[in-house]
Structure 1
């Protein structure tokens, strides 16, 4: 048996060192430099090429190199394969810190002050305090639920919208289309942390923006495909959305000709909200490899039917 790594080369080298530290007896190879494709039963992947799984006739487990798994489904995955993702406490913490930074930056009008500094314009602005601010989290999974609870602990008023009801302390839980409207009707911020599925693709669209209070702020740290880009530009022009903080995009890096670059109401970050920490995540991968070898249940396995 062997482990194949289908990742960015630099990250793959890091993963190989860490995995071999815990599994010195196991062959760990970086694709496409695989000695025997038939020996591979476990593949650690991040944004692999299409049909990647067809190279390995005896593959059993596909392990995502992060929390996201949508990148593993360019085509239909055979039902006998097990798909797992990483749930890393540091990844959740990093996501919370990024979301909090976006929310506070907007609440305290820093974008305006940065612009006005260029003109040497001294103009104090009104702002909201934490206890006066409503945040709606779309997606209350491992990461979204953590972000929601941490915001509550700081004193924010937090709504959450998800596929099924959640019982999170201090978070008002909503589900369904009617629930989505209720969750955002009085909100100041919408933070998208949904998984990307057929049901959530394009959910950040004109219909949702029309339901928002005037000058809502959007934070998208989910996936670029959640957002209908032209609908956002229209909503900003119509002042339905005051600002957007975008960390994920349909195409990455964002093309230089993209209109988002020229929109002063959009803050762009280059997909840095949270990044899997190899040192703190490697034991999940090692444990899943051992579980596969011993026939035990896998950690953080996802549903092929649901897509999360």
Structure 2
């Protein structure tokens, strides 16, 4: 099969980093970038991260739209999106990276390592209060592929784990207490010492990490956001920390990235910001999976990671 004409499109990042991987896997492939698309009727495959509004609709012979990450909200928010298959990346390495990050973030706060780092820098031998993992409940909002892997890992470490999803799970996870829907959210939050947000970003989940959610968490709860920046209401987080209701937050994603140097999160002693590094997929994996998905679509098969636009994931 002749390689497709591929457009690497984004309104926020330089997508040139993917070009060598596509050219290595499919020598002679026609790869174009956002600013130099040429004749758009030649483009059959769009590889995207936050594509400019209306750009995909200008490609009349497009057959597949591929996200370079696990999320597709940055694509679906385009009101002119053509009715073509939209796929997310499915990457075991991404799952492992996310699992390691969340486990670290939970342990870092629960075992009081920020205090130990300060003690070490000051040359102070001081023991902090020790709490067994079994005495600490981690609540995972979002039990998709990533949330499921994180839940299993935390159970293995010895934490009490519960999960919340929009719909009931047909295959409940051993060792995990399950909640679902609006009816189950209050009980889920009331028992959660560390809240991990791994929800897809939809109209319903935008602002999920806000005043109402924080109010229902136990005093002293810790919040970890590895979902999307729009899940978090920043002012509500600052207010909950100032009141003492929340003890801290670990944020790997923010509404504006990179986070401006003047943003109050940088200087807040109870907030740790990391630069969207919880998980990464290699360019080779993105290129290989994208071209495999294209071949599936051409053969009339369902491609890997195809999402349901009605649900947003």
TM-score class, shorter-chain normalisation, is over 0.9
Q: 1:26 to 1:294 in 2, by over 3 A?
A: farther
In structure 1, the partner of 2:176 is 171
Deviation at 1:138, TM superposition (A): 0.5
In the superposition, the TM-score normalised over structure 1's length comes to 0.93
Alignment check: 8 A CA contact 1:138 1:161 kept: yes
Alignment check: 8 A CA contact 1:45 1:64 kept: yes
CA RMSD of aligned residues (A): 2.0
In structure 2, the partner of 1:200 is 205
Alpha-carbon distance in structure 1 between the residues aligned to 2:34 and 2:255:
26
In structure 2, the partner of 1:289 is 294
Alignment check: 8 A CA contact 2:194 2:224 kept: yes
Equivalent residue of 2:31, what SS?
A: strand
Equivalent residue of 1:286, what SS?
A: helix
Following TM superposition, the consecutive aligned residue runs of length 4 or more in structure 1 with deviations greater than 4 angstroms are 7-11, 116-122
Relative to structure 2, which stretch is displaced further, 170-179 or 94-103? 170-179
Q: 1:186 to 1:260 in 2, by over 3 A?
A: same
Equivalent residue of 2:150, what SS?
A: helix
In the superposition, the TM-score normalised over structure 2's length comes to 0.92
Relative to structure 2, which stretch is displaced further, 22-31 or 148-157? 22-31
1:71 and 2:74 aligned = yes
What are the superposed Cα offsets for residues 272-308 of structure 1, whole Å, 9 maximum, x if unpaired? 1111222334332121111222222221111111111
Deviation at 1:23, TM superposition (A): 2.7
| Among 115, 130, 134, the residue aligned to 2:118 | 115
1:303 and 2:308 aligned = yes
Where in structure 2 are there 5+ consecutive unaligned residues? none
Relative to structure 2, which stretch is displaced further, 96-105 or 9-18? 9-18
1:106 and 2:109 aligned = yes
Alignment check: 8 A CA contact 1:51 1:74 kept: no
Alignment check: 8 A CA contact 2:90 2:304 kept: no
| Among 222, 226, 234, the residue aligned to 2:227 | 222
What are the superposed Cα offsets for residues 67-104 of structure 1, whole Å, 9 maximum, x if unpaired? 01111134214452211000110001101111111111
Alignment check: 8 A CA contact 2:168 2:180 kept: yes
Where in structure 1 are there 5+ consecutive unaligned residues? none
Aligned length in residues = 308
1:278 and 2:271 aligned = no
Alignment of 1:184-195 (within 5 A): 184-195=189-200
